[in-house]
Amino acid sequence: MGEKLVLAYSGGLDTSVLIKYLQERNNAQVITVTVDVGQQEDLMGAAEKAKKLGVFKHYHIDAKDEFVTNYIFPAIKANGLYEGKYPISTALSRPLIAKKMVEIAEKEGATGLVHGCTGRGNDQVRFDITLGSLAPDMKIIAPVRDWGLTREEEIEYAKTKGIPVSTAAKMFSIDASVWGRAIECGLLEDASQEPPAEAYLWTVAAEKAPDKPEYVTIQFEAGVPVAVNGKKMKPLDIIQTVNEIAGKNGVGRIDHIEDRLVGIKSREVYECPAATVILEAHKDLEKMVMTRNEVLFKAQVDAQWVFLAYAGLWVDPLKDDLDAFINKSQENVTGEVRLKLFKGGLQVVGRSSPMSLYDKNLANYNIKTSFNQSYSKGFIELWGLQTRMYNALKQSTTKKRKPTKKA
């Protein structure tokens, strides 16, 4: 037999086909690795499928807790939304999967690392950079990209090899983690059409959601969620609980045009119930406990952090630098946020914190307040001084330039 190659295996069409391709074209001993990041799929079935396809060895790794604590929680602290919409659910799982692939490759004495990414998407960047950084001496193989395989060719090849092709695989390309589902291809490529009901699994349609609103309270400590509706939970349980609550109320469907790293604009459809709720709550709490300067500056840091995570630069030193700032900024982000969920809608309706900078006595409009309103006049005089000077000069200059009428 040939060299040992470690393949990131999902059990889906692309990677199942790659097992046979690698065995036939490379004469390789294929070692498959399936990393459980909460995708709610039949991973035991994936293991059986891999064995039937004749892999040398298969590894199933339960990394859900690690994924939540070391990847999702940092994204929450950074208000992780790419282009203001996408909670980077797929992007977050890639560096973890790559890390596990390298660990198995070192254990098994493999010489190559294989992923099933195309040359049109972002995942190729994420895997190549992370794998190349963690295992610079191992070669990276991307057959779908490098051999130019099309989805139609894969389906036909799968039929010839007796590899079952699910109905979902024929309709969409799906990737999931506990932080969200990404649905692509097929009917969704027509950006003018509403996604069909079959695309969604974790959320109900807004019109089918309950007729009464549901309230949910998220408690945070130092920037991360620790309880739901007053009940302390483990990190993974929090995400799963909020996924269920938000999903049944139709919250968490995302449909937008996204700018991929390779320059393509792509129509992307996601289901991210817990991410939608928790990120909204976290950002709201930050505004209560942080100063204006902190909020405005951190928004710039957050945007850079999210871009690095999205762009496959999870192991870049700049991300570590930004983590240091973000973690420091979260020391006072402790408190509760109450949200109202109703037929696909989400609204923050209350928040409280022992570290709150909001003072009702200062903010109210009652004349009997601790806020000395007379101070405002002097403040306004100085605050707008240069603005008034500029406009006065502008008006004076305009008058001087105005031509005089001839008699």
Residues taking part in catalysis: 14, 94, 123, 173
Alpha helices in 249-311 (DSSP H): 273-289, 292-310
Pairing of strands 173-177, 180-184: antiparallel
Look-up of token digits 């799963």: 240
Of 229, 220, 342, give the one whose Cα is nearest residue 281.
220
Q: List residues bridging with 62 in a β-sheet.
A: 36
Burial 49-83 (b: 16+ CB within 10 A, else e): bbeebebbebbebebbebbbeebbbbbbbbbbbbe
Decide: 339 and 216 in contact? Cβ < 8 Å: yes
Q: Quote the CA–CA distance of 205 and 218 in Å, as a whole number.
A: 24
Q: Quote the CA–CA distance of 312 and 256 in Å, as a whole number.
A: 21
Element (H, E) at 407: none
Which strands sit side by side in the sheet containing 231-232, from one edge to the other? 231-232, 224-228, 214-221, 335-342, 345-352
Decide: 41 and 176 in contact? Cβ < 8 Å: yes
